[in-house]
C-alpha cells in the first residue's frame, strides 16, 4: 500500500544536489533590485526625506516613499471579526509620518543591482524626530506610556477572558496551589532561505506576476489583487522551491508589497530578497509572553482549578491578514487542555509596542500553553510528594471523556494521552534514570528528566478565518489529469516548503488509484495553475489537501473502472486497479493497463458508450464542517544535563510519542517531529531576539541570535500512536506543530528537575546560562 509507506521526499535529491530553484535563483530581463531604507529608531516621526544624493548615483533608478506608493497600493488593517474588540491600526507598505519599530521601511531604493541599491539606501537621509520607545508590554499598558497609534487611547490592542466553573472557590478550597510567573522571550521562525519576491507588472495587460517564497499563493493572489486594485485573474503568484517557512511565510509582508508597488510604478520586474539582518529586524516574530498561572490540587493530586493570565504584545501593528491574536488566544484555550479540570479562569491582554510585528510561527501559542501547565503539574506534584507522572496520568482526559469540548472551548474528537504516555515509558525507563540521577549527583553531575503532554491543533479549516472575514483558509480542491500515457498530473492547493507534502499527496493519489507512485506527478505552488486552496500552514496539508486528493483519486478511479467495465462487458464492481492494471477482483486476472484506458479515453472516446462517465480530468473538494481544528496529541520526555558551574544545559535524550492519526508517510512525519523538536529546543535554550531599552535589536546576526545546531542536539527519538480522525476517509491529522509544542515544556521541566537539589527553579525561556546561574544563586 502506497499510503503509509516510507517514501523519501521527491524533491530531496534535487535540493540536496544544489539544484533547487529558489526565488533568488530566478533572474528576469530588465529586473531591478530593491533595497529598503529602514528606520534606525524604534519610534520616531519621519521628517523630510532627502533622496537627491541617492538618485545621483549611477545605477539608481528610483527612490520611492510612502507618498509615491499611494496611487499604487492601498493600506490595510489586521482585523478579525471573531475578535470584534481588537484594535486594528492602519498600516501601509512604507511607513507614513511615524515609524514604530527599528527596521520599519520608509523608502524604497531601486537599482540595477542589490549592491548599488544598498549604496543608494545609504545616501537617503531622513530627518528623524525620535519618540519614546515602548519595549515591554507592562510598560506599554502603564498609564504614562507613549501611545503608538494616534487613533487609540492607549496601547491595549485586545483583552479577553474565559471563565468556566468557579476557579476562585476551588483555589480557596485546595490542598495545594502551585503558582509560577513565566517569561517566554521573543524569537522567530528563522528559515534558511529568507523572504524573497520578484514582482513583474505588464501594464499592457494590467498583469502582475509574482514569484515569491511563500506558503499561500492563493491568499497572496487575493491580497495583491485587492491591495493593488487589480482584477484577481490578472494576478499570478508562483511559489518555486521554498527553503523553509515555519509560518513566517504565510503572512503579507509590507516589504514584499513595496516590491509589487514599485514593479507596477516602474513597469520593470523588481526583486527583493531580505538579507539576514533585515530578517531579524523585520520578519514576523513570535512568543514574547509573560504568563502568570496557578493550579489548584487536591491532596491526591487531582487538578481542581487553573488560572492563567497572559500578557503579550502584537509588536507595532496587527499582522495582516491573520491578525496577531492567535498566539494569546491559543494559550488561554490550550493551557491545561490534556487534563480534566472544571474550574478555569483565563485572561489575556495584547499590547502594541515598538517591535516588529508578532505573527504566527510554527506551533502558535502551543509551546507556552504546554510549558505553563506542565511546569505547574511538576511544581504541584513535588509539593504534594507525588510522582509527577502519576499526577499526569490521573488527570488525563481519557477514552471515556471523548468526544469533549475543553474548558478552553476546543473540541477533542479522540485523543490518546494515556497510550502515548505508556509508550513513552516503555522507551524511557524512568526508574532506572532516577537511580542513575541519584548516583551521578554524588559526583556533582546533575541530570534531570522532564515530561510534557501536549495537544496539537492541526488542519485549520475554513471556519476560523471564514468567520473572521479573511480569504485565507480555503476549502481544498484537487484536480487530477489522467494523461494520454496513463500517468497522472495532480494539482493541489497545498504547498511544499521542504516538508514534503507533495510526496504525501502523491502517495494518496497513487494509493487510492492503484498506480505506481512514479506515475503521479504533483504540481503545487502556482495560483494560476492550481485549484484555489489554503496552502500549507497550521498542519493542514495532509489532513485537508490529502483528503481532497483522496476524493479526486477515488472519482478518477471510478471513471477508469467505468470505462474498463464498458469495454470489458463487465460490472465495474468486479474490477479493481493494481499497479496500473485493471484487475478482475475474483480471478486477479489483469485485463488491461490504465494507460490503455487513457489512450482510448482520449483518442478513441467514440468507443465508450455515451452514458458512461468517462471524465479523465476530475476535480474534488474537501472542507471540514463545524470544526475549527483537528486536535492531535502526544508526550515528550527530555533528559538534560546541567552544568551547575557554567549554566550550560546539554540535552541528552529527547523522545516524542505522537498521534497524528493516519500516517501518510512515516519518514515525513518523523522529519516534522524532529525538526519541530529542534525548533522547540531552540526556543527552550537558545533563540531570543533581544532589544535594548531604546528599542535597538541586539541580535541582528547568527553570532548573537543562536539557533540550535546539530552538535548540541540529541538524537530525537520518535514513536507513534495512530488514532485516525473519523471526520475524513483518510483519517490524517496534522504533524507539523507537535515537536515544537512540547519541547519547551519538556526541557523546562527537565532543567528544573536537574537543579531541584539546590532548591532553585527557573521559569524563563530561553534558559540561558546566565539566567540559570542566577536562579542557582551562583553569581
Partner 1 sequence: MKAPDFDYERPADLPGALDLLARHGAEASLIAGGQSLLTLLNFRLAAPELLIDIGRLAALKQLVETDRHIEIGGLLRHCDLAASPLIARALPLLHQAIGHIAHPAVRHRGTIGGSLAMADPAAELAACCLALDGQFSLLSTRGQRWVAAGDFFQGIYATALAPDEILTAVRLPKGEPGGISIFDEVARRRGDFALAGLAFAATPQAGGLKGVRLALLGVADRPILARDTMALLESGPLNQARVEQAAARIVGEVDPPEDPAYPPAYRRHLVGVLLRRTLQRVLMAFSA
Per DSSP, the three-state class of 653 is: strand
Do 17 and 97 form a contact (C-beta atoms < 8 A)? no
Do 285 and 358 form a contact (C-beta atoms < 8 A)? yes
Buried/exposed 316-342: b ≥16 CB within 10 Å, e otherwise: bbbbbbbbbbbbbbbbbbbbbbbbbbe
173 lies in the binding site for partner 1 (CB under 8 A): no
Residue 72 has which C-alpha cell? 499604487
Q: 433-439 long-range contacts, Cβ below 8 Å, gap at least 24?
A: 433/639
φ/ψ (deg, to 5) at 492: -125, 155
From the list 626, 703, 759, 777, which residue makes contact with partner 1 (rule: CB under 8 A)? 703
From the list 118, 483, 526, 574, which residue makes contact with partner 1 (rule: CB under 8 A)? 118
300 lies in the binding site for partner 1 (CB under 8 A): no
158: alpha, beta or left, given left = phi > 0 and alpha = psi -120 to 50?
A: beta
29, HSE (Cβ side, Cα atoms, 13 Å): 1
Stretch 240-279: interaction string toward partner 1, x if CB under 8 A: -----------------------------------xxxx-
Within 750-769, the residues that bind partner 1 by CB under 8 A are 768-769
According to DSSP, the β-strands at 476-482 and 488-492 are: antiparallel
From the list 12, 342, 648, 652, which residue makes contact with partner 1 (rule: CB under 8 A)? 648
Q: Least distance to partner 1 from the beta carbon of 18, Å?
A: 15
CA distances from 742 to 674, 683, 737 (A): 12, 11, 9
> Which range touches partner 1 (CB under 8 A), out of 21-29, 521-529, 581-589, 684-692?
684-692
Q: Least distance to partner 1 from the beta carbon of 712, Å?
A: 5
Within 340-359, the residues that bind partner 1 by CB under 8 A are none
Q: Which is nearer to partner 1, 444 or 604 (CB)?
A: 444
Q: Least distance to partner 1 from the beta carbon of 746, Å?
A: 20
Tell the residue number behind the cell numbers 493516519, with chain if given.
662
Q: Helix 666-685 crosses helix 501-513 at what angle (to 10 degrees)?
A: 160
193 lies in the binding site for partner 1 (CB under 8 A): no
Do 568 and 528 form a contact (C-beta atoms < 8 A)? no
Give the closest residue to 646 by CA, choosing from 771, 532, 481, 739.
771
Q: Which is nearer to partner 1, 164 or 277 (CB)?
A: 277
604, HSE (Cβ side, Cα atoms, 13 Å): 10
CA distances from 638 to 430, 673, 678 (A): 11, 14, 12
Q: Which is nearer to partner 1, 579 or 646 (CB)?
A: 646
> Which range touches partner 1 (CB under 8 A), out of 1-9, 111-119, 223-231, 716-724?
111-119
Cα–Cα dist 489/391, whole Å: 52
Q: Least distance to partner 1 from the beta carbon of 117, Å?
A: 8
> Which range touches partner 1 (CB under 8 A), out of 164-172, 540-548, 580-588, 696-704?
696-704
Per DSSP, the three-state class of 547 is: helix
Q: Count the residues of the shown chain that bind partner 1, applying the rule CB under 8 A.
A: 32
Q: Least distance to partner 1 from the beta carbon of 355, Å?
A: 16
Which residues lie closer than 8 Å to 611 by C-beta, 6 or more apart? Answer: none
Q: Which is nearer to partner 1, 532 or 706 (CB)?
A: 706
From the list 19, 690, 726, 757, which residue makes contact with partner 1 (rule: CB under 8 A)? 690
Cα–Cα dist 269/271, whole Å: 7
Give the closest residue to 629 by CA, choosing from 363, 248, 324, 246.
363
Q: Which is nearer to partner 1, 614 or 640 (CB)?
A: 640
Q: What is the 3-state secondary structure (H, E, C) of 13-41?
A: HHHHCCCCCCHHHCCCCCCEEEEEEECCC
413 lies in the binding site for partner 1 (CB under 8 A): no
Q: Which is nearer to partner 1, 136 or 456 (CB)?
A: 136
Do 620 and 548 form a contact (C-beta atoms < 8 A)? yes
Q: Least distance to partner 1 from the beta carbon of 119, Å?
A: 7
56 lies in the binding site for partner 1 (CB under 8 A): no
From the list 16, 67, 115, 152, which residue makes contact with partner 1 (rule: CB under 8 A)? 115
Q: What count of other Cβ atoms lies within 10 Å of the Cβ of residue 58?
A: 8
715 lies in the binding site for partner 1 (CB under 8 A): no
Q: Which is nearer to partner 1, 152 or 698 (CB)?
A: 698
Residue 57 has which C-alpha cell? 548615483
645 lies in the binding site for partner 1 (CB under 8 A): yes
Q: Which is nearer to partner 1, 606 or 779 (CB)?
A: 779
According to DSSP, the β-strands at 176-188 and 285-297 are: antiparallel
470 lies in the binding site for partner 1 (CB under 8 A): no
Length, in residues, of the chain: 779
> Which range touches partner 1 (CB under 8 A), out of 109-117, 262-270, 344-352, 449-457?
109-117
698 lies in the binding site for partner 1 (CB under 8 A): yes
Q: Least distance to partner 1 from the beta carbon of 118, Å?
A: 5
Q: Which is nearer to partner 1, 168 or 643 (CB)?
A: 643
From the list 299, 709, 726, 757, which residue makes contact with partner 1 (rule: CB under 8 A)? 709
DSSP state of 246: T
Q: Least distance to partner 1 from the beta carbon of 589, Å?
A: 59
714 lies in the binding site for partner 1 (CB under 8 A): no
Rounded to 10 degrees, what is the CA torsion of 419, 423, 426, 430?
-80
Q: Which is nearer to partner 1, 243 or 736 (CB)?
A: 243
- Is the sign of the CA dihedral 194, 186, 94, 55 positive or negative? negative
Q: Which is nearer to partner 1, 483 or 712 (CB)?
A: 712
From the list 119, 136, 200, 256, which residue makes contact with partner 1 (rule: CB under 8 A)? 119
> Which range touches partner 1 (CB under 8 A), out of 97-105, 632-640, 698-706, 745-753?
698-706
From the list 71, 163, 518, 646, which residue makes contact with partner 1 (rule: CB under 8 A)? 646
From the list 43, 51, 80, 114, which residue makes contact with partner 1 (rule: CB under 8 A)? 114
Q: Which is nearer to partner 1, 282 or 416 (CB)?
A: 282
Residues that bind partner 1 (CB under 8 A): 113-115, 118-119, 122, 275-278, 645-648, 686, 690, 692, 698, 701, 703-704, 706, 709, 711-712, 768-770, 773-774, 778-779
Amino acid at each position: 500500500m502506497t499510503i503509509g509507506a516510507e517514501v523519501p521526499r521527491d524533491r530531496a535529491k534535487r535540493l540536496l544536489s544544489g539544484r533547487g530553484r529558489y526565488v533568488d535563483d530566478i533572474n528576469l530581463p530588465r529586473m531591478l533590485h530593491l533595497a529598503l531604507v529602514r528606520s534606525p529608531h524604534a519610534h520616531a516621526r519621519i521628517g523630510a526625506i532627502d533622496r537627491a544624493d541617492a538618485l545621483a548615483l549611477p545605477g539608481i533608478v528610483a527612490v520611492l516613499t510612502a507618498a509615491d506608493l499611494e496611487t499604487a497600493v492601498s493600506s490595510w488593517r489586521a482585523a478579525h471579526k471573531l475578535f470584534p474588540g481588537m484594535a486594528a491600526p492602519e498600516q501601509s507598505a512604507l511607513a507614513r509620518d511615524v515609524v514604530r519599530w527599528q527596521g520599519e521601511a520608509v523608502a524604497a531604493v531601486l537599482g540595477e543591482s542589490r549592491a548599488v541599491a544598498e549604496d543608494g539606501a545609504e545616501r537617503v537621509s531622513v530627518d528623524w524626530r525620535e519618540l519614546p520607545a515602548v519595549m515591554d508590554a507592562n510598560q506599554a499598558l502603564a498609564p504614562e506610556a507613549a501611545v503608538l497609534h494616534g487613533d487609540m487611547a492607549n496601547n491595549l490592542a485586545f483583552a479577553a477572558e474565559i471563565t468556566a466553573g468557579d476557579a476562585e472557590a476551588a483555589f480557596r478550597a485546595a490542598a495545594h496551589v502551585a503558582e509560577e510567573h513565566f517569561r517566554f522571550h521573543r524569537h522567530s521562525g528563522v528559515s534558511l532561505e529568507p523572504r524573497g519576491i520578484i514582482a513583474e507588472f505588464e501594464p499592457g495587460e494590467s498583469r502582475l506576476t509574482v514569484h515569491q517564497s511563500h506558503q499561500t499563493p492563493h491568499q497572496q493572489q487575493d491580497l495583491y489583487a485587492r491591495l493593488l486594485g487589480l482584477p484577481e485573474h490578472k494576478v499570478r503568484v508562483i511559489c518555486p522551491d521554498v527553503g523553509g517557512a515555519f509560518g513566517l511565510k504565510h503572512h503579507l509582508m509590507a516589504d514584499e508589497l513595496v516590491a509589487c508597488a514599485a514593479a507596477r510604478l516602474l513597469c520593470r520586474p523588481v526583486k527583493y530578497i531580505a538579507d539576514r539582518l533585515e530578517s531579524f529586524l523585520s520578519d514576523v516574530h513570535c512568543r514574547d509572553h509573560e504568563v502568570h498561572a496557578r493550579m489548584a490540587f487536591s491532596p491526591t493530586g487531582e487538578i481542581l482549578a487553573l488560572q492563567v493570565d497572559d500578557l503579550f504584545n502584537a509588536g507595532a501593528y496587527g499582522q495582516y491578514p491573520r491578525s496577531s491574536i492567535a498566539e494569546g488566544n491559543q494559550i488561554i484555550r490550550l493551557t491545561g487542555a490534556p487534563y480534566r479540570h472544571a474550574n478555569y479562569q483565563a485572561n489575556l491582554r495584547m499590547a502594541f509596542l515598538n517591535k516588529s510585528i508578532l505573527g504566527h510561527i510554527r506551533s502558535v501559542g502551543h509551546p507556552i500553553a504546554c510549558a505553563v501547565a506542565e511546569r505547574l503539574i511538576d511544581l504541584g506534584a513535588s509539593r504534594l510528594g507525588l510522582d509527577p507522572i502519576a499526577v499526569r496520568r490521573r488527570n488525563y482526559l481519557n477514552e471515556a471523556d471523548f468526544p469533549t469540548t475543553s474548558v478552553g472551548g476546543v473540541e477533542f474528537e479522540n485523543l490518546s494521552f494515556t497510550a502515548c504516555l505508556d509508550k513513552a515509558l516503555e522507551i524511557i525507563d524512568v526508574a532506572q534514570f532516577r537511580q542513575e540521577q541519584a548516583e551521578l549527583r554524588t559526583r556533582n553531575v546533575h541530570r534531570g528528566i522532564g515530561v510534557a503532554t501536549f495537544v496539537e491543533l492541526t488542519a485549520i479549516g475554513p471556519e476560523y478565518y471564514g468567520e473572521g472575514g479573511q480569504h485565507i483558509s480555503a476549502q481544498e480542491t484537487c484536480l487530477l489529469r489522467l494523461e494520454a500515457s496513463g500517468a497522472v498530473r495532480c494539482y493541489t492547493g497545498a504547498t511544499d516548503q521542504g516538508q514534503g507534502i507533495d510526496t504525501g499527496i502523491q502517495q494518496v493519489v497513487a494509493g487510492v488509484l492503484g498506480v505506481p507512485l512514479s506515475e503521479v506527478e504533483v504540481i503545487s505552488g502556482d495560483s494560476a495553475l492550481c485549484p484555489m486552496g489554503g496552502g500549507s500552514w497550521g498542519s493542514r496539508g495532509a489532513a485537508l489537501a490529502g483528503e481532497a486528493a483522496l476524493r479526486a483519486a477515488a472519482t478518477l478511479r471510478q471513471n477508469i473502472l467505468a470505462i474498463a467495465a464498458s469495454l470489458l462487458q463487465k460490472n465495474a464492481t468486479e474490477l479493481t486497479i493494481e499497479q496500473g492494471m485493471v484487475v478482475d477482483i475474483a480471478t486477479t486476472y489483469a485485463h488491461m493497463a490504465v494507460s490503455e484506458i487513457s489512450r482510448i479515453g482520449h483518442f478513441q472516446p467514440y468507443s465508450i458508450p455515451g452514458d458512461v462517465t468517462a471524465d479523465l480530468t476530475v476535480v474534488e473538494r474537501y472542507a471540514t464542517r463545524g470544526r475549527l481544528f483537528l486536535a492531535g496529541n502526544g508526550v515528550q520526555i527530555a533528559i538534560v544535563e546541567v552544568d551547575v558551574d557554567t549554566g550550560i544545559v546539554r540535552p541528552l535524550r529527547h523522545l516524542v510519542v505522537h498521534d497524528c492519526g493516519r500516517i501518510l508517510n512515516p519518514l515525513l512525519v518523523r522529519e516534522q517531529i524532529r525538526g519541530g523538536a529542534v525548533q522547540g529546543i531552540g526556543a527552550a535554550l537558545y533563540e531570543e531576539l533581544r532589544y535594548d531599552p531604546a528599542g535597538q535589536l541586539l541580535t541582528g546576526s547568527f553570532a548573537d541570535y543562536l539557533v540550535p545546531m546539530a552538535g548540541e542536539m540529541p538524537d530525537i527519538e520518535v514513536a507513534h500512536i495512530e488514532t485516525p480522525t473519523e471526520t475524513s476517509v483518510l483519517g490524517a491529522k496534522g504533524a507539523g506543530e507537535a515537536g515544537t509544542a512540547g519541547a519547551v515544556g519538556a526541557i523546562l521541566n527537565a532543567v528544573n528537575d536537574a537543579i531541584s537539589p539546590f532548591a532553585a527553579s527557573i521559569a524563563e525561556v530561553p534558559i540561558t546560562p546566565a539566567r540559570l546561574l542566577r536562579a542557582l544563586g551562583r553569581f
